Chains A and B, each alone.
Chain A
Amino acid sequence: MLNLLKKIMKTGCVTEPYDGGIVPPRFRGEVAWAEGQCQSCQRCRVACPTGAIGFSGGRLTIDHSACAFCGQCVAVCEHKALAHTGEYQLAEMKNQLSGKIKSILKRSLHIRHVDAGSCNACDWEMTALTNPIYDLQQYGIDFVPSPRHADMLMITGVVTRNLTQALTMTYEATPSPKLVMAVGACAAGGKVFGNSYAIQGAVDTIVPVDIYVPGCPPRPAALIYGLLLALDRLEEVRN
């Protein structure tokens, strides 16, 4: 017991404030396109394993919800037209929250996780949110054991055929109003493994999705950004 107290005192408080971590130089974030350099050779489009890159009207488009940030497009580009930036705050809300949901949720959010066929990387990053460094509870957000207690479902993975029934039942068991977050390239884009007999597709092919958080997996800070974006609380935590 004494040793335990000593260890706790020695460690002290390690919790970081919002956006308190460092983005290392090698981090592969948002893919930036330099229009002037691009020769439209389209090698990046061919190389992209998830079909996230497109060309329309001579302009390159990147669907970040499908992107796995693997760096293959950047590696094949001979014209230095593509590069990863350190930007990871890429979550997108599909609909703005209605005033009614906001008034019900207020500042707090209870989340149920559903693994709908993930590789477990997204799941582990969600677990990391509860470690003392990110300490998700500091924002009034927490994970709950049952969908019946939840305001939000965080769904990871391409939806597999074997999990479809459990996913729809969990969605139905969650009381309204409810939010759904698609976490990571599998859940948000659904194209990581291409066509397969065992995969239904992205989460929004099965249940409606409100927030998409890109990444493979999204780093914990990107998840916190997505959660606070959903609650419309970014301004508040930044100040």
Chain B
Amino acid sequence: MIGSVQVIPAATLRAAATVVCHGGLYRLTAMFANDERMINGSFAIYVLFFSKEDAAFKTIKAIIKQDDLLEFPSLTPLMAAAAWYEREIHDLFGLTPVGHPDLRPLVLHENWSQGRYPLRKDFEPDSVESGENIDYPVPPVQGKGVFEVPVGPIHAGIIEPGHFRFSQAGENIINLEAKLFFAHRGIEKAVEGLSFSKALFQTERICGACSVANTLSYVQAVESLTNTEVPLRAEYLRVLAAELERLYNHVGDIGNLCAGLGFAAGISNGSRLKEQLMRLNERLTGNRFLRGWITLGGVTMDITQELVQDIARLLAGITDELNDLLGLLRDNDAFLDRVNTTGILPQQAALDLGVVGVAARASGVDFDIRRDFPYAAYRSLSFHVPVYTNGDVAARLWVRADEAAESIKIIDQLLEELPNGKLTGELGSVEPYQAAFSMTESPRGSNLHWLMAGENNTIYRYFVRSASYPNWPALTVAVPGNIIPDFPLINKSFELCYACLDR
């Protein structure tokens, strides 16, 4: 995917963005910076917009000359979705979004030595020492009897790290602040200068539960840059990998949701079904997270007729068992009482924050990359995109349940139609400083990887916007107004990755 690119001076960014977004046809989907001083003497801010109706992308590239003030007009007052992207640009590049209402550090925490910007090209990693712990103010909620509940970054369960600060009036949550990026590994910087094939290894390890989605977005971006043709059989097997990933995630997440309200039979059945799917993954690829299957130009392993039968047999069993499990939930008033009307994300909030995936489709936003910007073999497959409008925990649950059933239908279809042929295509080469991006639909929503090539088929800049990125701020909108015992339930209904977000 490339779409149109409009190059402007940074000072006019807000006006240009206003024109693109006029009428609400185009919406912000990602925003990041690039240090292009050694190419053209300037920094660049890239702002990506998409339109489902036009089936098109528009990119604004705002130029900040290196000798000018290193700042640009903030888009956050225009569109809330820009808030985190701009804080990240401020942290990593030292470019200031003027007029941003909240420029607390986001990615680099309090112990980072101030004035060092790791994604600039002249940054030297050896020069970093831990800085003095600066303040990280959390906006106070004041009033009689209001108190705070701090949770994390180490949680009580087996969960990734994040800090949550609840402001409470009794059981009622007034405000939730999420401080994340504890698992920030600096992967975007770590792969700079690596060849496309070397970086594949790190890409596959951005996130465990989204291994396939991240790898697929990355290889498709490289293939788009290098004009590589992927054989048809490989395109089908990539869809198989993506749908198996969606299926084990959704089935596991339905079980985990039951953990949010202590329904042991649900947890037990969900985790048992997930285990069966993880074992299938291991049979197919040698790794339970399907790692090592997708590669540049295609896939590494074929599936035999015997494995096709294995898949079909197991999925038939999963269909029945999942229906049993969902029956236990649908007929259970105590369960429904907890999930209905809990943790509502209003549709307008979902649109304003650029929310994607299950969370968006449960709030009436009918958008799915597989259908609206089809990739791999999706354009040859027919499937239904479930949409619910209540925006509550239940809606997110039913979206997942319906999508799991659709995934099984997609897999049946593609195994039926699996074309013969090669598994990999020859990778082409690319002129330095060309850029491309690719999007896939991960189990959590649209997953965008943007890539600029350096010399000799290496990476100059790599930017990853996972589905969890726009969805995390939405959690802090859905939670206030509920009681604190419902937080785990609401959190699990969004089921966001920390690793994908933090990178």
Binding site for B on A (CB under 8 A): 3-4, 7-8, 10-11, 14, 21, 24, 26-28, 49, 68-72, 75, 84, 112-128, 130-134, 143, 145-147, 157-158, 160-166, 170, 192-199, 216-217, 219
Contacts and interface: CB of A to CB of B under 8 A. Distances in A.
B164 to A, nearest CB: 14
A4 to B, nearest CB: 6
A166 B328 CA distance: 40
Nearest to B162: A115
Contact of B327 (A3, A112, A126): A3
Given A131-B274, A131-B275, A194-B190, A163 B185 contact: no
Interface string B293-337: 000000011000000000000000000000011011001000000
A161 B112 contact: yes
Closest 8 CB pairs of A and B: A121-B208, A145-B156, A198-B186, A131-B271, A196-B186, A26-B286, A49-B201, A120-B208
A119 B268 contact: no
Nearest to A117: B183
A219 B202 contact: no
Contacts of A217: 208, 288-289
Nearest to B503: A198
A84 B292 CA distance: 13
Given A115-B160, A119-B208, A157 B272 contact: no
A166 B182 contact: yes
B181 interface: yes
A183 to B, nearest CB: 11
Given A28-B287, A163-B161, A195 B183 contact: no
B384 interface: no
A26 B156 contact: no
A156 to B, nearest CB: 9
B184 interface: yes
Contact of B185 (A75, A143, A198): A198
B502 to A, nearest CB: 8
A166 B153 contact: yes
A197 B275 contact: no
Contacts of B285: 26
B232 to A, nearest CB: 23
Contacts of A199: 185-186
Q: Give the residue among A115, A126, A165, A194 with the most B Cβ atoms within 10 A.
A: A115
Nearest to A127: B158
A162 B181 contact: yes
A197 B189 contact: yes
A115 B153 CA distance: 9
Nearest to A113: B158
Given A132-B271, A196-B189, A118 B183 contact: yes
Contacts of B271: 127-128, 130-132
Contact of A216 (B156, B182, B209, B291): B291
Nearest to B128: A197
B229 interface: no
26 contacts: A4-B328, A7-B328, A10-B324, A26-B282, A28-B292, A70-B201, A84-B286, A112-B154, A114-B154, A115-B159, A115-B160, A115-B498, A118-B208, A119-B205, A120-B160, A124-B252, A125-B288, A131-B275, A133-B275, A163-B161, A192-B202, A196-B125, A197-B125, A199-B185, A216-B205, A217-B289
A221 to B, nearest CB: 11
B169 interface: no
B157 interface: yes
B34 interface: no
Interface residues of B, number: 65
A69 B285 CA distance: 12
Contacts of A163: 153, 161, 182-183
Interface of B: 108-109, 111-112, 118, 123, 125, 128, 130, 153-154, 156-161, 181-187, 189-190, 198, 201-202, 205-209, 211, 252, 265, 268-269, 271-272, 274-275, 278-279, 282-289, 291-292, 300-301, 324-325, 327-328, 331, 497-499
Given A3-B327, A132-B271, A196 B183 contact: no
Contact of A133 (B130, B205, B272): B272
A172 B147 CA distance: 28
Contacts, number: 187
A143 to B, nearest CB: 6
A7 B275 contact: no
B201 A26 contact: no
A7 B283 contact: no
Contact of B269 (A7, A113, A124, A196): A7
B161 A166 contact: yes
A27 B206 contact: no
Contacts of A126: 158
Nearest to B208: A121
A160 B154 CA distance: 14
B205 A123 contact: no
A197 B331 CA distance: 52
A173 B448 CA distance: 40
A28 to B, nearest CB: 4
Contact of A193 (B161, B190, B286): B190
Nearest to A192: B205
A130 B158 CA distance: 10
A115 B125 contact: no
Contacts of B324: 7, 10
A161 B187 CA distance: 13
A114 B152 CA distance: 11
A27 B498 CA distance: 28
A7 B265 contact: yes
A188 to B, nearest CB: 14
Given A124-B209, A145-B157, A146-B156, A117 B291 contact: no
Contacts of B205: 68, 119, 121, 192-193, 216
A164 B201 CA distance: 25
Contacts of B181: 162
A217 B289 CA distance: 8
B94 to A, nearest CB: 14
Contacts of B190: 193-196
B288 A143 contact: no
Given A49-B198, A133-B275, A193-B187, A124 B161 contact: no
A162 B184 contact: yes
B251 to A, nearest CB: 12
Given A132-B268, A198-B118, A72 B274 contact: no
A234 B152 CA distance: 35
Contacts of A120: 160, 207-209, 497-499
A135 to B, nearest CB: 10
Contacts of A194: 190, 202
Given A124-B209, A196-B189, A117 B286 contact: no
